[in-house]
Amino acid sequence: MCRHPRLAGPRLPPRKKVRGGARGPRKGRSVSDAPRSSHEPPKTALCLPGGGLTGALYQIGALAALADGVRGVDGQSFSLYLGQSSGASVAAALAGGIPVDRLYRALLDPVDNFFPLERSHVFRMDIDEWRRALSTSWVAIRHALARLSSSRDPVSPAAPGHLYLWEQIDRLADSLPAGFFTLDRYERFLAEFFLRRGIPNAFRAMPRPLRIPTYDVDCGDRILFGAEGHEDIPVSLACAASLALPPFFSPIRIGDRHYIDGGLGDVAHLDVAAEAGVEFAVVVNPMVPVSVAHRAVPTGHGVRQSVRDKGLFWVMNQAMRIGTHARLAQNVEQIQQKTGMHVLVLEPEPTDVLLFLHNPSNLAARRAILEYAYRTTRERIAEWMEKRRGVVARLGWEAA
């Protein structure tokens, strides 16, 4: 375990005490420290794991269906917002007050510039990292040449020569870049988006509690940005840190620490919600393994029959989906047994994940994912409310 000093950053002026006000925890107050009457509905949490652009599309479509399917529930109805990887940006927008139907319309309409994200905002080559890789490669080559000139390994002089050669070549592995792309431009884009849309870029100023998990690359500790001791950095920077998935994106440096994707360990981080006193959590998980089921697989070189035909990146994506889905199921079961928390998991059917194989730059593919998420979630919400009437009554939910 490593120690994490309190992160430095701009501090907001002290708040004036306000009497009365809207229901729920006040700004700058933790989720669990506000006294609650026994007549108040239970605390709820919205958990948004990652899943890339297609995952964010699914989450927004599903949440729009939840808002339309349950009277009085919308994207701002939760006591706590948890988001990591691509889900962190969605959670931040919702916690900051952006209506989910506005996000839905923005992603559905190609001429709507409400959220003008471009490919170049995310996939920008990390020039500094590649420069470091080149300079350290030259140093490694010099060391290797110096050792090879001695002809023998001084520790094991009887070792075969080819093994000694490969040992020197392996030095170059430590000079590979820590990531291909940088998220600096995405962080700036997100900060500008927050500014234009009136979303606070400070955790303390957020109208609803927001937590963004990441992992410290130098010790493996989970860091919860927005929690005590880690609330003094911009929300946009925390979102970028939680999105830094190896090997695609370089770790995000904050202070003297480096952070990577918040979904690499836990998936929904339901333990955070449990510690905050949450009794009911909604998890919108787009990371379900693809089941081809003898159906056509779209690729850039024609229609094929296997995920393998989509190449390295999609085989990696499928591997991540398998691991993420299994960890989430285990996490939900454990938290329910340990705390009694009710958890509603909204996710696509494995055979329907074929929609996610299409290029998200294609507007028709975006529309198909949004509409599929909306339609199927409306159906599942209605079925769940019928089966869980006791929980629904405790929440105060009513079918729309």
Tell me the pLDDT tens digit for each residue of 276-335.
999 999 999 999 999 988 788 888 898 898 999 999 999 999 999 999 999 999 999 999
**Lowest-confidence pick of 36-45, 89-98, 230-239, 316-325:** 36-45
Q: What residues are labeled active site?
A: 85, 261
pLDDT at 2: 67
Distance CA 73, CA 76 (A): 8
Mean confidence (pLDDT) of the chain: 86
Q: What number is the average pLDDT over the span 170-187?
A: 89
pLDDT at 168: 67
pLDDT digits 0-9 by tens, 350-383: 988 888 888 887 888 889 999 999 999 999 999 9
Residues 6+ apart with CB under 8 A from 271: 335
Of residues 316 and 25, more confidence is placed in 316
Q: Half-sphere exposure of 214 toward its Cβ, with a 13 Å CA cutoff?
A: 30
Phi, psi of 256 (to 5 degrees): -110, 20
Of residues 24 and 140, more confidence is placed in 140
Residue 259 one-letter amino acid: Y
**Residue 181: alpha-carbon gap to chain centroid:** 17
Range ranked top by mean pLDDT from 104-108, 149-153, 321-325? 321-325
Range ranked top by mean pLDDT from 40-54, 145-159, 162-176, 354-368? 40-54
* Residue 247, preceding peptide bond in cis (omega within 30° of 0): yes
Are the CB atoms for 287 and 48 separated by under 8 Å?
Answer: no
**Residue 119: alpha-carbon gap to chain centroid:** 18
Q: What number is the average pLDDT over the span 72-97?
A: 95
DSSP string, 219-280: T--EEEETBTTS-SSBHHHHHHHHH--TTTBPPEEETTEEEE-TTSS-SS-HHHHHHTT--E
Phi, psi of 346 (to 5 degrees): -105, 120
**Lowest-confidence pick of 64-68, 127-131, 149-153, 292-296:** 149-153
Q: Give just the sign of the alpha carbon dihedral 142, 145, 150, 155.
A: positive
For residue 284, list its beta bridge partners. 346
Q: How confident is the model at residue 30 (pLDDT cuts 50, 70, 90)?
A: low
Q: Quick check: helix, strand or coil at residue 26?
A: coil
Residues 6+ apart with CB under 8 A from 230: 4, 6, 7, 223, 224
Are the CB atoms for 225 and 214 separated by under 8 Å?
Answer: yes
pLDDT at 315: 94
Of residues 336 and 157, more confidence is placed in 336
Q: Longest C-alpha distance within the chain, in Å?
A: 81
Q: Is the pLDDT of residue 56 over 90?
A: yes
Q: What DSSP element (H or E) covers 305?
A: none
Residues 6+ apart with CB under 8 A from 128: 182
Domain 44-115+203-287+340-399: which topology? Cytosolic phospholipase A2 catalytic domain (3.40.1090)
**Lowest-confidence pick of 30-39, 129-138, 150-159, 221-230:** 30-39
Domains of the chain, residue spans: 44-115+203-287+340-399, 127-148+160-175
Residue 189 one-letter amino acid: F
For residue 211, list its beta bridge partners. 82
Instruction: Name the pTM for this structure.
Output: 0.85
